[in-house]
Amino acid sequence: MRIPELFRKLARGPQIITLKDAGMIAAFTGLTSGDMVVDAGAGSGFLSIFLANQVKPEGKVFSYELREDFSKIAARNVKKAGFEKYVEVKNRDIFKGIDEKDVDVITLDMPEPWHAIDHVCSALKKGGYLVSYLPTVEQMRKFVLLCIEKGLKHEQSIECIVREMAVKETGTRPETKGLMHTAYLSFFRK
């Protein structure tokens, strides 16, 4: 089963990342097989599975989730997806530390990523990417300024808007309603 199908079929607990945003992360970090990735918080595990699908078979995703209930949903989804070999869900607080070293890509989808910044800076490999996923401008700004202060290179902060086109007998047009905003994605490099 390919990722878009998996995303439609897995159980949802907390809000999941959209494919468009996951695709931006893959493209703007140049994600590839063999990458070691740390993803926090795991939520339902969708982003971890997406990332694992890109780093397998040689890479691995370590998926941190503080809440026990979410980490169970995530682990269950990882299993259903057949990705146990490539995703390790850890019911751990990333603010207290990151076990992995020389990490290629770290993704932070949590309200207060600033508490993780020192651990992130240590765990990240030179040249590695940090990506934050933050809904509000204030969160994004705060994190960008902190990361710059910590010596990371701010590559860019973006929002990605996907407009679906309706191709009907009567003509072609963008769909009337749609998703206007999910989150700002910021990309940093060590």
Stretch that binds its own copies, among 14-22, 37-45, 73-81, 95-103 (CB under 8 A): 14-22
Position 177 contacts its own copies (CB under 8 A): yes
Count Cβ atoms within 10 A of the Cβ of residue 108 and give its class: 0-12 exposed, 13-18 middle, 19 or more buried: buried
Output 89 or 144, the one with its CB closest to its own copies. Answer: 144
Q: Which stretch binds its own copies (CB under 8 A): 4-12, 39-47, 61-69, 113-121?
A: 4-12
- Contact between 68 and its own copies by CB under 8 A: the answer reads no
135 near its own copies, rule: CB under 8 A = yes
Residues ≥6 apart with Cβ < 8 Å to 152:
121, 130, 188, 189, 190
Looking at the Cβ atoms of 29 and 77, the one nearer to its own copies is 29
Q: Report how far residue 91's alpha carbon sits from residue 51's, in angstroms, rounded to the nearest whole number.
A: 19
Whichever of 116 and 147 has its CB closer to its own copies, that residue is: 147
What ranges in 56-94 are assigned the alpha helix state H?
68-80
Q: Least separation, in Å, of the C-beta of 185 and its own copies?
A: 9
Query: Given phi > 0 = left and psi -120 to 50 = alpha, else beta, which region is 100?
Result: beta
Q: With binding defined as CB under 8 A, does residue 137 bind its own copies?
A: yes
Q: Quick check: 107 and 51 in contact, CB under 8 A? A: yes
33 forms part of the interface with its own copies (CB under 8 A) = yes
Residue 56 near its own copies by CB under 8 A: yes
Sequence-distant (6+) residues with CB within 8 A of 101 are 123
Closest CA to 59 of 47, 51, 68, 70: 51
Using CB under 8 A as the binding rule, whether residue 9 contacts its own copies is answered as no
Residue numbers at the binding site for its own copies (CB under 8 A): 2-6, 19-20, 22-34, 50, 53-54, 56-58, 127, 129, 135-141, 144-145, 154-165, 167, 170-182, 184
